[in-house]
Chains A and B, each alone.
Chain A
Amino acid sequence: MLASLRSCVLSLVRDKALLVWALAFPVIMTLIFMGMFSGIGGAYSAVGSTLGVVRDANYDAAVGLDETIQAISGPESSDHVCDVTYYDGAADAKAAASAGDVDAYLTVSGDGMPQLHVTQASVAEGGSLPTSVLSEVLDTYLHTRSAVERVAATRPELLANGRAIEAFTSGAVQTVRLSATKNPPSPDARYYYALLAMAAGMGATAGMESARRLLPTAGPLGARQTLAAVPRWRMLVGALLGAWLCEFVCLLVAALFMWGAAGVPFGDNAPGVVGAIAASSLMACAAGALCGTVPRMETGMISGITCLLSLFTGLYGTASQQLADSIEAAMPVLAHANPLWQTTNCFYALLYYDTPDAFLASCAALLGMALAFIAVASLRMRRTSYDHL
């Protein structure tokens, strides 16, 4: 067993394919992600836009509207959501919007209702959130104005002494932000975890190669090994442990690189992270060994399957994350059957939960899958050796 472990490690290190998949691939992608996500936090928090305001008689007649606009456009204001440019007429504002100078422009109709006109280009580029924030501010203005009018209709003295406006606009109700998770939610951790899971899945090629070398069809070396006076399962386990060791080390280095260079949050439970990496690489190697016993499998298939499974961990951008989330909500069993999902969930549980149960459950699922793969692989291994001799 030790001998097959040694030969397996040696051949994997010499082959370099594993190094490419389990080490170079995540490191390269980490570098790319680092560049990409340096701006993503800002993109998720950005609500700012440029607003053109048509300053005509209707605008001036709308009570308090200008104050509202100034409150949200003041450069020092904590409520800053837009930069304002004033225009004399709607035609000027429309021309500016069409030229891309402003994202949207505001007009006020004859009955004092504000109207926002937004350009398609700004929505296509920054989504509808900035416009929604603007329209929400205007809605609040509109509603407060109508509330004050109602109060003034029944108790005019409150409007005269300013108490009515004061009561509605003093900001008497505040919200306070609480944090539910152990670490603050991070938009990019998910990408990195999915990347690690994909690298682990790609590492299955190592398990596959090592198992394949044991097959009697693998040439004279395979034939000699098949004739050796060692039970097949012991050879398989030895080879598997060798592959696992290599992949584990590669992934560990990759994760260390992510943590050190890219500052990916992994939580404070270092042994847990190491355990998660060990469990997922074991699972991948076992899956690879199983594939190795299928003669028609090629390494390309493993990478193809891993690419597909990675879709459901949300590696390919926001659209795939939404798809993954909706599948998880609708068919949790299907999502949980994805070994790569279990890998990402291990890291995820370590980062966010303050109890270890979810992490342990995912690790157990990974180990269970690994055991199942190994069992089937050793059964198939026996059959293939008899079939082909």
Chain B
Amino acid sequence: MTTFRTYLRIFLSHRVYIAIYLVMLSLVGVFIGLSASPAATGEYQETSANVAVIDRDGSELSSALARRVLAGNNQVDVADERRAIQDSVARDRVSYLLVIPRGWGEGLMDAARQGGKAPELETYVSYYSGMGRLLDIEVTGYADGLYGMAATLGGGAAEVVSATDDAWEGSTQVSMVEQVASPLPASLVTAAEFASYPIFSSAMVCIAVLMSSVERRPVRDRRLASPESARTRNLALLGACATIGLVTWAWTFGLEVLVLGRSSLADSPVQLALVGAALLAYALVAASVGFLAGQLGVSESAANALANILGMVMSFLGGAWTGLSLLPDQLVAVAHFTPAYWVTRVVEGAAGMGRVTAKNVMPLVGDIGICALFGIAILLVGLVLGRSRGRSELA
């Protein structure tokens, strides 16, 4: 027990690592969650694109078109300058930028009278080209309406606009297919997916730092010379590692639930428990990787590098940052070999669970088990390596 307490004191004395990795990175996760859409996944929300309109025409028709496009979307103001247009499109600040050329309204009225084609509208789309498709349907639909009204009923621009606007009332009703269970808020899901990185890197760094200070030659000699049995000595070290893993998990997950998921505690406790259990399993995996690194005698700076690189690689491969649906199939095949993948599967599965039944929950519990098995396997490797290293050094 004394050694265990000493280990924890060593862990606590590395305040900088705790502050940077544990506190700061988990706060980052919460911020990312807060910036994700706050709505629960249960309500249907129409996609609203970031749209900008540059109206060079300024006619009644063009301003009616601009009004129509901006309604229901996020309006972004973009100056009619090349640099501003470049910036907004390249960064996807604007997914769809519509330029109504000079004389478009006149041209459309003339074309409608003579039955020809109306002048083209100019658009810039960012790489989010799906959004461009959506807005194109909206823009050409309304513009065709203007054209049709001008071609059939005729009259001045104002009449054409008001007739079209009258017809453009009402919209398709979209509803979610009902599901019994209330889903987790999207912000919590995003934060929980991101959490794999802070949990992994902080647990691993803290443990590796602890191990490297414990394994320093004089300390190590003193430890080995003590009358304590090897069993209790190693158990104390393992206990300290597991405690650090638990602390990282409790802090990260607790913070997320407190800030983002208080409502889910009552509404969807099972899903929340699944997410928590998955992250806990992952924290234990991180702890065993840290233990392994310590057993291998990895130096402090190398442990740092390993924690960051491994943590990022696993989070990316596991789809924690982009969602599993974005990953190509070959990569998903590879991702099966990382524990983070199973965690993300549990988080995504729990988030969209339609009904809390044993049939839905059990596969996710299985996934958590697989993640835990990774941890146990790595832990065993660490134990065996430590044993053989200890022997070879004694010999």
Interface of B is mostly: helix
Q: How far is the CB of B177 from chain A (nearest CB, A)?
A: 5
The answer to whether B141 touches A140, judged by C-beta atoms less than 8 angstroms apart, is: yes
The answer to whether B137 touches A352, judged by C-beta atoms less than 8 angstroms apart, is: no
A323-B120 in contact given A36-B322, A135-B172, A299-B300 (Cβ < 8 Å): no
The answer to whether A172 touches B147, judged by C-beta atoms less than 8 angstroms apart, is: yes
* 28 pairs from A and B in contact (CB 8 Å cutoff): A32-B317, A38-B328, A44-B127, A94-B177, A116-B175, A117-B177, A118-B44, A120-B177, A124-B183, A124-B348, A129-B47, A129-B131, A137-B137, A142-B172, A143-B142, A172-B111, A172-B117, A173-B140, A180-B82, A180-B89, A181-B89, A184-B127, A185-B89, A202-B308, A298-B300, A300-B209, A352-B87, A353-B86
Q: In the complex, A142→B300 CA distance in Å?
A: 66
Q: In the complex, A129→B117 CA distance in Å?
A: 30
A77 contacts B by Cβ under 8 Å: no
A146-B167 in contact given A120-B41, A132-B47, A167-B148 (Cβ < 8 Å): yes
Q: How far is the CB of B323 from chain A (nearest CB, A)?
A: 8
A47 contacts B by Cβ under 8 Å: yes
The answer to whether B134 touches A316, judged by C-beta atoms less than 8 angstroms apart, is: no
A20 contacts B by Cβ under 8 Å: yes
Which of B123, B175, B323 is close to A176, meaning CB atoms less than 8 Å apart?
A: B123
Range of interface residues on chain B? 35 or more
The chain A residue with its CB closest to the CB of B313 is A32
Which of B44, B82, B125 is close to A123, meaning CB atoms less than 8 Å apart?
A: B44
B260 contacts A by Cβ under 8 Å: no
The answer to whether A177 touches B124, judged by C-beta atoms less than 8 angstroms apart, is: yes
A353-B83 in contact given A150-B167, A176-B122 (Cβ < 8 Å): yes
Q: Pick the most buried of B121, B122, B143, B326: most chain A CB atoms within 10 A of its CB.
A: B326
Which of B42, B152, B305 is close to A155, meaning CB atoms less than 8 Å apart?
A: B152
The answer to whether A171 touches B308, judged by C-beta atoms less than 8 angstroms apart, is: no
The chain A residue with its CB closest to the CB of B154 is A155
Contacts of B304 in A (CB 8 A): 299-300, 303
B248 contacts A by Cβ under 8 Å: no
Q: How far is the CB of A309 from chain B (nearest CB, A)?
A: 11
The answer to whether B153 touches A155, judged by C-beta atoms less than 8 angstroms apart, is: yes
A322 contacts B by Cβ under 8 Å: yes
A262 contacts B by Cβ under 8 Å: no
The answer to whether A325 touches B93, judged by C-beta atoms less than 8 angstroms apart, is: yes
B352 contacts A by Cβ under 8 Å: yes
Q: How far is the CB of A255 from chain B (nearest CB, A)?
A: 18
The chain B residue with its CB closest to the CB of A137 is B137
B46 contacts A by Cβ under 8 Å: yes
Which of B17, B132, B140, B169 is close to A174, meaning CB atoms less than 8 Å apart?
A: B140
Which of A36, A139, A177 is close to B123, meaning CB atoms less than 8 Å apart?
A: A177
Q: In the complex, A154→B170 CA distance in Å?
A: 21
Contacts of A300 in B (CB 8 A): 16-17, 20, 205, 209, 300-301, 304
Q: How far is the CB of A41 from chain B (nearest CB, A)?
A: 7
Q: Give the segment of B29-37, B279-287, B363-371 that binds chain A.
A: B29-37
